[in-house]
Amino acid sequence: MPRMIFMNDSLVPEHEAKVSVFDHGLLYGDGVFEGLRSYAGTVFRLDEHLDRLYASARAICLEIPLSKDVVARAVVDTLAANHLADGYVRLVVTRGAGGLGLDPNKTSNPQVIVIADTISLYPREYYDRGLRIVTAATQRTHSAALSPRIKSLNYLNNIMAKLEGLQAGCVEALMLNHKGEVAECTGDNIFVVRAGKLLTPPPDAGILEGITRNAVLELADQAGIACREATLVRHDLYTADECFLTGTAAEVISVVEIDGRRIGAGVPGPVTKQLTEAFHSLVKR
């Protein structure tokens, strides 16, 4: 049975899901997207993801041709059409087809695409043992050039940093901002634990405010774990008791080594384990 893709107003088989070669999403990365997870048939924080999608679109003057309610139904229907109770959804909106030039006013017919599949970002052993990561030389795009709050189709900045991590034998890499402060990893937000307190970079460090990041902050608060946003540098990571990453695809995963420095005891720590269990309980409600 072919995979079903939502395109604009209907579900179509994968081989019929096509966009123009003149679409500015393809030509220039001109568009926005969201990645969502479904657990036991319920999309995790769907409204928050849609709010961020529409905010990203407004920020780049892209008018999404469908209402939030229609897109929400498309997400649910696409999962159902592919018989996925536990799945990953990629929701994409492109600028639409135009000429061979940057002018977005010469485009038309923005494309709304919903893809549903399964995902396993990291092998199970990494969740049990923790990740090794390195700091990439590629900096996070300056927030004055492009707001990190816009989840755009142009991910080349992250991809270049990801390549550095892979070339170093790591599946993830840390990205710093233009001031040398810790921002985030190529696809995940980052947290550290120091003396039982949870710290994570603030939005002005050049991060995307992750949906999972915010959920973990809420869970920490509910568990009585002191948590706050704070400017961090690599020294803060190297000397932390624990470190972990959060993301829609990654969920919560421990980091046990950064740039060859062992973090804490070199194994997933107690606070990380506590928040991982709390997150699993949250999404399985």
- CATH code for the domain of 231: 3.20.10.10
Which pLDDT value is given to residue 120? 82
Select which of 18, 68, 106, 151 is catalytic: 151
Question: Is residue 112 over pLDDT 70?
Answer: yes
Q: What b/e string do you get for 18-29 counting C-beta neighbours within 10 Å, with b at 16 or more?
A: ebeeebbbbbbe
- CATH code for the domain of 87: 3.30.470.10
pLDDT, mean of residues 249-264: 97
At residue 121 the predicted structure's pLDDT band, cuts being 50, 70 and 90, is confident
Q: HEC profile for the chain?
A: CCCEEEECCEEEEHHHCCCCCCEHHHHHCCEEEEEEEEECCEECCHHHHHHHHHHHHHHCCCCCCCCHHHHHHHHHHHHHHCCCCCEEEEEEEECCECCCCCCHHHCECCCEEEEEECCCCCCHHHHHHCEEEEECCCCCCCCCCCCCCCCECCCHHHHHHHHHHHHCCCCCEEEECCCCCEEEECCCEEEEEECCEEEECCHHHCCCCCHHHHHHHHHHHHCCCCEEECCCCHHHHHCCCEEEEEECCCEEEEEEEECCEECCCCCCCHHHHHHHHHHHHHHCC
Are residue 272 and residue 170 in the same domain, yes or no?
Answer: yes
Are residue 219 and residue 175 in the same domain, yes or no?
Answer: yes
Are residue 78 and residue 154 in the same domain, yes or no?
Answer: no
At residue 285 the predicted structure's pLDDT band, cuts being 50, 70 and 90, is low
Q: Is 162 one of the annotated active-site residues of the chain?
A: no
Which pLDDT value is given to residue 162? 98
pLDDT, mean of residues 233-246: 98
Which of 117, 151, 168 is where one domain is finished? 117
Are residue 9 and residue 75 in the same domain, yes or no?
Answer: yes
Enter the tokens of residue 203: 């939005």
Are residue 30 and residue 135 in the same domain, yes or no?
Answer: no
Domain that holds residue 230: 124-283
Distance CA 170, CA 189 (A): 17
Which pLDDT value is given to residue 1? 79
Residues 68-95 have pLDDT tens digits of 999 999 999 999 999 999 999 999 999 9
Are residue 140 and residue 234 in the same domain, yes or no?
Answer: yes
Are residue 140 and residue 88 in the same domain, yes or no?
Answer: no
Residues in a beta bridge with 242: 193
Which pLDDT value is given to residue 145? 93
Which pLDDT value is given to residue 119? 87
Which of 117, 139, 164 is where one domain is finished? 117
Q: What rounded mean pLDDT belongs to the chain?
A: 96
Are residue 63 and residue 101 in the same domain, yes or no?
Answer: yes
> What's the total number of domains in the chain?
2
pLDDT, mean of residues 230-255: 97
